[in-house]
Each structure stands twice: as structure tokens, then as C-alpha cells.
Amino acid sequence: MKITMEHIRAGGGCAWGLREFFKRYNLDLDAFIHDGYIEEEILLKTGDALALHIINIAKTGMVADGF
């Protein structure tokens, strides 16, 4: 599943936090910005609680429902 900035914002994420998250887990922020998404599997591998929360939001469609 593709996780987008819309999902990240719905989960409480922000641009500063996104940069820090990608740096902490050595993820490619430039690719995320270019592609507009990151694959769910990559976020799952981090084991990060916020990442898991954001994945849950994406899967349940909370963004599409207006939260």
C-alpha cells in the first residue's frame, strides 16, 4: 500500500517530523517527495508506533472519510 503525505498529516505528522523520521530510519526523503508516497512495507520495518498508526489510518480510509 502506498502511504502519502495525506495519510501522514491525518496521523498527526508534519513536515519537520517527516524529515526527522526519514533521517532517524535512514529512509530516502527525496524519493518520497519525488514519488509522492512510501511503501507500507518500508514503514512497517521501522517498527515505529507513529508509522504503524499512519498505516492503520491509510488502511481504514480515515483520510477519505474526513476523519
pLDDT tens digits, 8-57: 999 988 889 999 999 999 999 999 999 999 999 999 999 999 999 999 99
pLDDT of residue 65: 47
Q: How far apart are CA 1 and CA 3, in angstroms?
A: 6
Query: Are 12 and 50 a contacting pair, CB within 8 Å?
Result: yes
Instruction: Give pTM, 2 decimals.
Output: 0.85
Q: Per-residue confidence at 62, pLDDT binned at 50, 70, 90?
A: confident
